[in-house]
Structure 1
Amino acid sequence: MKLLQLTATFGCLQGDTLEFGPGMTLIGAPNGSGKSTWCAFLRTMLYGLDTRQRDRKGAPADKNRYRPWSGSPMEGLLVCEFQGRVLELRRTSASGVPMGDFSAVYQDTGLAVPGLTGETAGEILTGVSQEVFDRSVFFRQTGLAVSQSQELEKRITALVSSGEEDVSWTEANERLKTWLHRRRFHKSGLIPQLEAEEAQLQQTLTQTASLRQDLAQLQARAAGLRQQKAHWESRLSMENDKFQTISQRRYAEAAAELDAAELQLQTLLARQQADAPQTEPDPDELEEEIQDTLDDLASRRRLMTGFVTLIVLLTLCGVVLFAAPHVPQFPLQLPEIPLLFLAPVVGVLWLLVLLFTLIKSACDRRDTKALDELRALLETRQQEDSHLAQDLREAQIRREHAQKYFEAVSQQSGSGPYLPPEAEACRASLHQAEQEIAQIQGQLTALGDPVLVDARLDEIQEASARLQGDYDAIEVAMEALKEADDQLHARFSPQLSQTAAGYFQQLTQGRFSQVALDRSFNVTVRETGALADRPLALLSQGTADQLYLALRLAVADLVLPSPQACPLILDDALLSFDDDRLAVVLHLLTELAEDRQILLFTCQHREFFMLEDRPEITTVTLPDF
């Protein structure tokens, strides 16, 4: 394939066109003018745009990085020569998918190219997949290093073996390793999982057998305890019947005694009310009458005493009046009272005293008699009330005792006989045994049916044996694959190393003569005449870039030889080369351009100065260069 023309609306490019010569084309442009954009556009036209790619921190997806600055839809045209005919490839944006629409036609007829689609265009035209394209013929300033790739390995394997490109030791080895790790990887994988499950099932069976043995012992113990419990319950039933009979008899006696006491108390209360008629005074009234009678006697006694005292005083006064005139030297001059007058008066007075005395005596005898009768009646009533009160107190005490006895008997009849401590211990032991039995039965239920566990264990053992056989077979296969790969590597590594050594020797002007490359594309070099190899880390940056360029050219020659030559694309890949080695590289590229197309993008003018006397070189300068 040879590139003829590119027209792009892509990133900073807005309908810009770039044309290429048949051999080497030198494109000059300053930094930021779109050199890398043209390279990315070419890759997109060949292999399409990955719209599933997502933005990452500091690295936006290509669909966002190269969105046209003008806001126009992303689109482009690639004109190339393939198998002697000129093709036009178009990619346009459709239905919101950038570069989602693809067409490929012959320029002379406008007919569609059969078998060429948006997905297969790049691989058909270049002869390699995008991954191999990036690692072989696409040179970038920051991507000169050659890295391992399954696609690149397939391509190299096809060249040195059967020619089939579906064989990759790395891919096969990774697939076998994946299968191997799926079965066992340290403590993970299917086999350790089955082994862990087998150990768990074995532990389950052991635990089930132990629990069943414990369950049998507990059930036998519980049966004995149930017999003891039945014996104690039978005994308790008999004692309870006896106790109920006695309690009923005591209850009846207590109820009868309480009823009798209550009846007696009510009878005495009725008698107390009946013995107190409304016509008879009560003891308080009797006491008042007695007190009134005593007061009358005392009043008459005081009145009689005062009356007698008055009569005595009057008598003494009459004697004094009668005798005073006859007493010589008496201080008072009193008239003389005749005796005949005085004597009758005194006599009348003492007759009154006698009369009053008789009346008083008669009244005193009457009141004394009434007083004695009242006292006798009061004493009788007090005695009767005292006896009645005593009977009431005794009746109340009897009722209280009967009530307490009745309540005590009622409480005893509700409590019933108690089991002895041995019976309670038997009941507690049986309850604990039943709880343990229920717990063990629950554990057995959780552990599952032993028959199913045994069946599952057999399945696991069979699966584990099968997987272990697969594991052993995979290990044997990986060892055989490793031996075959070592033989294959011994075939392509010298060829690639020899080709890279020739390029590297030419680029370093004979300083280095040997290049050694292992499977992972780790490189060591040897200087001409030296005995020891030097690792890549000990080389300068410029020498390392020259070595990477030599390896890239060798890989391109190996995977895309001259009959299938695909253009080499270099995007500022020679910046670190000094002028002398740059001249050597340009001379080598011009020689290679005789067999394949080379596109060299640069931001420097020295390449133009060095190639200005080479008319076969096509030069293109972008604006502002």
Structure 2
Amino acid sequence: MKLLKLTATFGCLDHETLEFSPGMNLIGAPNGSGKSTWCAFLRTMLYGLDTRQRDRKGAPADKNRYRPWSGAPMEGQLLCEHQGRTILLQRTSAGGVPMGDFSATDQETGLPVPGLTADNVGEVLTGVSREIFDRSVFLRQTGLAVSQSQDLEKRIAALVAAGEEDVSWSESDERLKTWQRRRRYHKTGLLPQLEEEEAQLRASLEQTASLRQELAQVQSRAAGLRRQKEHWDSRLSIENDKFKTVSQQRYAQAAAELDAAELRVQTLRGQMEKAPHTPDSQRNWEEEIQEIQDELRSRHRMMVGFVVVILLLTLVAAALYILPHIPQFPLSLPTIPLWIPAVVAGVLWLLVLIFSIIKVLCDRQDHKDLKDLHYLVDTSEKDHSEQARSLQEALLLRDQARKLFEAISQQRGSGPYLPPEAEVCRESLHRAEQEIAQLQGQLSALGDPALIDARLDNVQEEKARLQEEYDALTIAMEAMQEADDQLHARFSPQVSRRAEGYFTQLTPGDYHDLSLTRSMEVTLRQGPSLARHPLALLSQGTADQLYLALRLAVADLVFPDPRDCPLILDDALLTFDDRNLARALALLCRLAQEEGRQILLFTCQHREFRMLQDLDGVACQSLHGF
């Protein structure tokens, strides 16, 4: 395949065009002007854009990294020659999918090229997959190192061995390892799972046997407890009959006593209600007693006053009689005959006598009434106290009868009491039945022993089969390792020999005896030293020179015909010093001229232009005023 022209709306490129010539092409452009973008665009036109790729921290997906800055849809064209035919590849964005629409047109006929699709166009035109393309002819400054790839290994192994590209040792080895790990990988895989399941099944069978034995023991104990319970139940039935008879009698007696006590209380209350000793009568009696006492005191005071008045009148009458007979009395009073004062005094004291007799008779009647009232009050209070005490006793008896009646009523519902042994028997039987239910539940959860045993047989058979497969895979991997060692003994020297030849042309010849492992790790010797140096000990410039030599060697093996695919270098010679850069450019020009290989060298340095611009067969282009 020979590249002719690229037209791109891709990243910083906006409908820009880049044309190529056969042989060596030198494209110069300043940093940030789109050199790496052109390389990524070329790769996208051949192998498509992975729209499933997602952004990662510090590394956006290509669909976002190369979104056109102008805002236009991502699109582009690639014009190339392949097997004598000029083909125009076109990818455009459609349906929101960048570069999702593809077409391949024969420029001579204008018809679509049959067999070319968006997915296979790169492999058809170059003859290799994307991985081989990236690891052989697509050289970037940050990706010069050659890494292991199953596709690259297939291709090289095919060229070294029988020419078939169907099988890669690492792919087969990885596949066998995957199968083997599927069966056992440390504590994971099918075999450990089956072993764990087998252990669980055995534990289930053992647990089932243990539970069945324990269940039989508990059932036997429960049967004995049931017999004891039946004995106690029979005894309880007899006691119940007796208890019912006695209880009915006691209940009837207690009801009769309660009724009698209630009747007694009602009778006493009726008597107390009919008795004269009521609060009103008691108050009336007390008022009558108070009135009689007040009357006695009033009569006594009146009598005393009356006697005092009579005494004073008698003294006055005596004075009226005596005073005129006193010779020296200053007043002249008439002389009163003696009989007059004597009659007056006699009349007055007769009145006193009459009133005294009347008072005595009245006082006697009042004292009698007072005594009767006091007697009535005392008798009423005594009778009332007696009735109250009788009522209190009746109420107490009624409360006792009611409590007895309630207690007997409760006893009628409770029934007779059995000895503590009967209750212990009931509780033990209840616990035994609970244990039986729990054991039966556990046995039910474990499953049918016959099914478990059958599953155990299947697991053992499956484990034996997988173990045989595991052992067979181990033997196959050992045999493949031995065969691969033999193939590697043929593969590594060819790549190492070619790479060492290129490396000698790129350096003054200080390094030799280059060795390459299957994983593309390189060691070499320097000068007369017998020690082998890993690539990590070399300077960056020397390491890049060695990587370029390896890439060229791999490209030779992958593309026996150099014209099948161009060699693309994106600032791949940046770390070379001027002397080694001149050697590298001379080597690339020779490959372009002698082998007819198309080489695209993108650079941001002017020194490549100074070294190549006067040479024949080198097409130099400057982009963006470089």
Q: TM-score, normalised to structure 2's length?
A: 0.86
Q: CA deviation at 1:576?
A: 2.2
**1:542-566 C-alpha deviation (Å, 9 max, x unpaired):** 2222211111111111111127642
Asked if the contact 1:254–1:409 (Cα under 8 Å) also holds between the matched residues in 2, the reply is no
Letter matched to residue 126 of structure 1? T
For residues 407 and 179 of structure 1, the distance between their equivalents in structure 2, rounded to whole angstroms, comes to 92
Asked if the contact 2:258–2:402 (Cα under 8 Å) also holds between the matched residues in 1, the reply is no
Letter matched to residue 164 of structure 1? E
**21-30 or 550-559: which moved more?**
21-30
Residue 602 of structure 2: aligned partner: 601
For residues 288 and 68 of structure 2, the distance between their equivalents in structure 1, rounded to whole angstroms, comes to 139
Letter matched to residue 584 of structure 2? V
Q: CA deviation at 1:129?
A: 0.9
**1:433-458 C-alpha deviation (Å, 9 max, x unpaired):** 45444444444444444444444444
Residue 576 of structure 1: aligned partner: 575
Q: TM-score, normalised to structure 1's length?
A: 0.86
Of the three residues 274, 288, 291, the one matched with 2:293 is 291
Asked if the contact 1:261–1:398 (Cα under 8 Å) also holds between the matched residues in 2, the reply is no
Residues 50 and 159 (structure 1), Cα distance of their counterparts in 2 relative to 1, 3 Å cut: same
Residues 284 and 14 (structure 1), Cα distance of their counterparts in 2 relative to 1, 3 Å cut: closer
Asked if the contact 1:247–1:412 (Cα under 8 Å) also holds between the matched residues in 2, the reply is no
For residues 581 and 473 of structure 2, the distance between their equivalents in structure 1, rounded to whole angstroms, comes to 51
Q: CA deviation at 1:479?
A: 1.7
For structure 1, which runs of at least 5 residues remain unmatched after alignment?
none
Tell me, yes or no, if structure 1 residue 49 matches structure 2 residue 49.
yes
For residues 335 and 124 of structure 1, the distance between their equivalents in structure 2, rounded to whole angstroms, comes to 190
Residues 210 and 243 (structure 1), Cα distance of their counterparts in 2 relative to 1, 3 Å cut: farther
For residues 117 and 218 of structure 1, the distance between their equivalents in structure 2, rounded to whole angstroms, comes to 78
**549-558 or 208-217: which moved more?**
208-217
- Alignment partner of 1:255: what SS? helix
Letter matched to residue 508 of structure 1? T
For residues 315 and 399 of structure 1, the distance between their equivalents in structure 2, rounded to whole angstroms, comes to 76
For residues 280 and 24 of structure 2, the distance between their equivalents in structure 1, rounded to whole angstroms, comes to 158
Residue 138 of structure 1: aligned partner: 138
Residue 407 of structure 1: aligned partner: 402
For structure 2, which runs of at least 5 residues remain unmatched after alignment?
none
- Alignment partner of 1:99: what SS? strand
Residues 381 and 490 (structure 1), Cα distance of their counterparts in 2 relative to 1, 3 Å cut: same
Asked if the contact 2:258–2:405 (Cα under 8 Å) also holds between the matched residues in 1, the reply is no
**534-543 or 236-245: which moved more?**
236-245
Asked if the contact 1:7–1:17 (Cα under 8 Å) also holds between the matched residues in 2, the reply is yes
Residue 156 of structure 1: aligned partner: 156
Residues 152 and 384 (structure 1), Cα distance of their counterparts in 2 relative to 1, 3 Å cut: same
Q: CA deviation at 1:342?
A: 1.8
Letter matched to residue 128 of structure 2? V
**610-619 or 99-108: which moved more?**
610-619
Tell me, yes or no, if structure 1 residue 346 matches structure 2 residue 342.
yes
Asked if the contact 2:525–2:532 (Cα under 8 Å) also holds between the matched residues in 1, the reply is yes
For residues 505 and 275 of structure 1, the distance between their equivalents in structure 2, rounded to whole angstroms, comes to 147
Residue 171 of structure 1: aligned partner: 171
**1:463-496 C-alpha deviation (Å, 9 max, x unpaired):** 3333333322222222222222212212211221
Tell me, yes or no, if structure 1 residue 556 matches structure 2 residue 558.
no
Residue 95 of structure 1: aligned partner: 95
Residue 272 of structure 2: aligned partner: 269
Q: CA deviation at 1:131?
A: 0.9
Letter matched to residue 342 of structure 2? V
Q: CA deviation at 1:35?
A: 2.7
Asked if the contact 1:90–1:104 (Cα under 8 Å) also holds between the matched residues in 2, the reply is yes
For residues 392 and 496 of structure 1, the distance between their equivalents in structure 2, rounded to whole angstroms, comes to 138
Residue 469 of structure 1: aligned partner: 468
Q: How many correspondences in the alignment?
A: 617
Tell me, yes or no, if structure 1 residue 357 matches structure 2 residue 360.
no
For residues 280 and 619 of structure 2, the distance between their equivalents in structure 1, rounded to whole angstroms, comes to 160
Residue 33 of structure 1: aligned partner: 33
Residues 557 and 374 (structure 1), Cα distance of their counterparts in 2 relative to 1, 3 Å cut: same
Asked if the contact 1:268–1:388 (Cα under 8 Å) also holds between the matched residues in 2, the reply is no
Residues 569 and 271 (structure 1), Cα distance of their counterparts in 2 relative to 1, 3 Å cut: closer
- Alignment partner of 2:164: what SS? coil
Residues 57 and 334 (structure 1), Cα distance of their counterparts in 2 relative to 1, 3 Å cut: closer
Tell me, yes or no, if structure 1 residue 370 matches structure 2 residue 404.
no
Residues 334 and 528 (structure 1), Cα distance of their counterparts in 2 relative to 1, 3 Å cut: closer
Asked if the contact 1:53–1:62 (Cα under 8 Å) also holds between the matched residues in 2, the reply is yes
Q: CA deviation at 1:25?
A: 2.7
Q: CA deviation at 1:396?
A: 1.0
Asked if the contact 1:496–1:554 (Cα under 8 Å) also holds between the matched residues in 2, the reply is yes
For residues 275 and 330 of structure 2, the distance between their equivalents in structure 1, rounded to whole angstroms, comes to 76
- Alignment partner of 1:259: what SS? helix
Letter matched to residue 293 of structure 2? Q
Residues 320 and 483 (structure 1), Cα distance of their counterparts in 2 relative to 1, 3 Å cut: same
Residues 334 and 173 (structure 1), Cα distance of their counterparts in 2 relative to 1, 3 Å cut: same
For residues 299 and 578 of structure 1, the distance between their equivalents in structure 2, rounded to whole angstroms, comes to 161
Residue 487 of structure 1: aligned partner: 486
- Alignment partner of 1:520: what SS? coil
Q: CA deviation at 1:246?
A: 4.9
Q: CA deviation at 1:460?
A: 3.4
Q: CA deviation at 1:514?
A: 1.7
Letter matched to residue 51 of structure 1? T
Asked if the contact 1:258–1:399 (Cα under 8 Å) also holds between the matched residues in 2, the reply is yes
Q: CA deviation at 1:87?
A: 2.6
Q: CA deviation at 1:573?
A: 1.8
**1:164-223 C-alpha deviation (Å, 9 max, x unpaired):** 212111112222222222222222223223333333343334334434444444444445
- Alignment partner of 1:142: what SS? helix
- Alignment partner of 1:525: what SS? strand
- Alignment partner of 2:518: what SS? coil
Tell me, yes or no, if structure 1 residue 393 matches structure 2 residue 394.
no
Letter matched to residue 480 of structure 1? A
**1:10-46 C-alpha deviation (Å, 9 max, x unpaired):** 3343444433333323333333333323322222222
For residues 39 and 203 of structure 1, the distance between their equivalents in structure 2, rounded to whole angstroms, comes to 65
Asked if the contact 1:504–1:547 (Cα under 8 Å) also holds between the matched residues in 2, the reply is yes
Residue 237 of structure 1: aligned partner: 240
Asked if the contact 2:277–2:380 (Cα under 8 Å) also holds between the matched residues in 1, the reply is no
- Alignment partner of 2:471: what SS? helix
For residues 375 and 624 of structure 2, the distance between their equivalents in structure 1, rounded to whole angstroms, comes to 157
For residues 368 and 77 of structure 2, the distance between their equivalents in structure 1, rounded to whole angstroms, comes to 159
- Alignment partner of 2:275: what SS? helix
Once the two structures are aligned, what percentage of the paired residues are identical?
Answer: 56
Of the three residues 248, 251, 256, the one matched with 2:251 is 248
Letter matched to residue 376 of structure 2? R
Asked if the contact 1:254–1:402 (Cα under 8 Å) also holds between the matched residues in 2, the reply is no
Asked if the contact 1:507–1:581 (Cα under 8 Å) also holds between the matched residues in 2, the reply is yes
For residues 175 and 238 of structure 1, the distance between their equivalents in structure 2, rounded to whole angstroms, comes to 87
For residues 530 and 361 of structure 2, the distance between their equivalents in structure 1, rounded to whole angstroms, comes to 176
Residues 227 and 403 (structure 1), Cα distance of their counterparts in 2 relative to 1, 3 Å cut: farther
Residue 8 of structure 1: aligned partner: 8
Asked if the contact 2:506–2:545 (Cα under 8 Å) also holds between the matched residues in 1, the reply is yes
Asked if the contact 1:321–1:336 (Cα under 8 Å) also holds between the matched residues in 2, the reply is no
Residue 616 of structure 1: aligned partner: 617
For residues 578 and 92 of structure 1, the distance between their equivalents in structure 2, rounded to whole angstroms, comes to 42
Residues 88 and 277 (structure 1), Cα distance of their counterparts in 2 relative to 1, 3 Å cut: closer
For residues 275 and 585 of structure 1, the distance between their equivalents in structure 2, rounded to whole angstroms, comes to 145
Residue 20 of structure 1: aligned partner: 20
Residues 211 and 234 (structure 1), Cα distance of their counterparts in 2 relative to 1, 3 Å cut: farther
**1:494-543 C-alpha deviation (Å, 9 max, x unpaired):** 22112222222232243333211111111111235443322212222222
Residue 531 of structure 1: aligned partner: 530
Q: How large is the RMSD of aligned CA atoms in angstroms?
A: 3.7
For residues 470 and 487 of structure 1, the distance between their equivalents in structure 2, rounded to whole angstroms, comes to 25
Tell me, yes or no, if structure 1 residue 128 matches structure 2 residue 128.
yes
